[in-house]
Amino acid sequence: MKDRFRPVPQSRLGRLAAFGQIAGGVATGMLGEGLRRLAQGERPHLSDLLLTPSNALKVTDQLSRMRGAAMKLGQMLSLDAGELLPPELTAILAQLRDTAHFMPPGQLQQTLNAAWGPGWRRHFLRFDNTPIAAASIGQVHRAVLTNGRELAIKVQYPGIASSIDADIDNAATLLRLSGLLPPGLDISRHLAAAKQQLHEEADYLREAEQMRRFGALLADDPRFVLPSPMDDLLHPTVLPMDFLQGTPIESLSGASESDRNNAMTALLDLVLRELFEFGLMQTDPNFGNYRWQRDTGRIVLLDFGATRPVNSETAQIYRNLMKAGLSGDLAAIRNALLASGFVSPTQLARHGKTLDTIIGLGVHQLHENRDGLFDFAQRDLVMMMRNQAAPMLADRSTWHLPAADTLFTQRKISGMALLCSNMRARVPLMQMLSRYS
């Protein structure tokens, strides 16, 4: 535990130096791995040297020390990479979801003094200095007020908000220099959107308001439970809220099939309601944002910093994709993917047959469930689609990104699909989608 207490680097130069250490460590790892493979008579490619478990471990460790936007980008990659990265790399990057280092007690004390004043402990019967969770923007402490109310208190790392823009710019520079991004791929709008969202996530007053909004939207849904913010101690960098008991959502993997299916059906239903009813979506699918209460079967929803409105254009994109998928019409699905920006005209021209094969595999799986349940545990389908997509992914000159709003929405959808897959869930997907078609 002691090794996890490390100060958050706050200065611009200090964080830039940390990025330099990432680059230097990866470069050293590439050199060593390249020499080793050359000695064995191989001719390694640059991507093979970059994407090694050793390099992933170096990057993960450094990002967990930096925290902030740099670590957040690594967390996004750990989920968004899905089946694209080798399993050993995905497993290493997954450590970023909940293994940030902690602030040392002195830095924590200074941070809370700045927010609440030096006499802040008078409000509490107990305040645990060791956090119960640590993530990219802040860490969470358990506490009990003098009136007996039990709280979970999220404390933002010092200097994180002011480091967001520089961190993202530095990460983008590393990606470009690494050659992992095609030279012609314009990500400037997506970087601007990422900066805006991370600044919003660092505003705990805004997050408290989003927590209240979701609490009202789900007040009549017994499948979910949410904390409420504690207004008296609320601060832009400190968010006190009710402490709610629950185990990590991954603990569902050892539960009964019925419990797993019910929980995943609830979460998928929530995504659909966010998209088509609420017009408001919590877009961060980090598994740490969900906990499960075994005794009640309810799902605890946490962390509303990444909540953003879903505009009507984005909702219509998914409605069109859904209608096309339910119809089973390959041409309609292809056209919907093209209109959404998930597929570029160049990709369609060069890899149209491959795309049709991938679409056909998905349609077959969606429509061939005789008991009406979609089986997310079908890993064979994922592997077949991955193998079919390999030539398209290798053709880097055709890479294309949809609009940022669509990408944020897709990130939530993909994250929930990954969680359903991990939980081996079987859900009435066709029936659920049909309600909104």
Going residue by residue through the chain, which has 437 residues, state the pLDDT in tens, using 9 for 90 and above: 446 665 554 444 455 455 445 444 444 443 343 334 434 444 444 444 345 555 555 555 555 554 545 555 554 554 444 444 555 445 545 555 555 678 889 999 999 999 999 999 999 999 999 999 887 788 999 999 999 999 999 999 888 888 788 777 777 776 666 566 677 777 788 888 888 888 999 999 999 999 999 999 999 999 999 999 999 999 999 999 999 999 999 999 999 999 999 999 999 999 999 999 999 999 988 888 999 999 999 999 999 999 999 999 999 999 999 999 999 899 999 999 999 998 889 999 999 999 999 998 888 888 877 568 899 887 677 778 778 888 887 787 888 788 889 988 998 998 899 899 889 999 999 999 999 97
| Nearest C-alpha neighbor of 158 from the set 74, 36, 67, 95 | 67
Which residue stretches of 68-179 are H helix?
A: 68-80, 87-94, 105-116, 160-178
DSSP state of 37: H
Query: From CA 411, how far away is CA 425, in angstroms rounded?
Result: 19
| Nearest C-alpha neighbor of 207 from the set 162, 243, 242, 238 | 238
The two tokens of residue 330 are 């390959």
- Global pTM reads 0.81
Strand duo 426-427 + 280-282: pairing:
unpaired
How many CB atoms within 10 Å of residue 242? Answer: 15
Q: Provide the 3-class DSSP secondary structure of residue 308.
A: strand
Query: From CA 283, how far away is CA 297, in angstroms rounded?
Result: 23
The values of phi and psi at residue 80, to 5°, are -70, -25
The two tokens of residue 225 are 């439970």
Return the residue matching tokens 């601060």: 235
| Nearest C-alpha neighbor of 144 from the set 231, 244, 211, 243 | 243
Task: Give how far Cα 316 sits from Cα of 153, 154, 276, 410, Å.
Answer: 38, 36, 9, 13
How many CB atoms within 10 Å of residue 368? Answer: 8
Q: What residues form DSSP beta bridges with 290?
A: 301
395, burial (CB in 10 Å: exposed 0-12, middle 13-18, buried 19+): middle
Amino acid 35: pLDDT: 39
Q: Which stretches of 129-231 are assigned E, i.e. beta strand?
A: 133-134, 138-145, 150-156, 224-225
Q: Show which residues are catalytic.
A: 284
The two tokens of residue 282 are 């919590």
Amino acid 82: pLDDT: 47
At 304, which helix (H) or strand (E)? none
Query: From CA 356, how far away is CA 362, in angstroms rounded?
Result: 10
Cβ atoms of residues 236 and 116 within 8 Å: no
Cβ atoms of residues 80 and 402 within 8 Å: no
Amino acid 392: pLDDT: 84
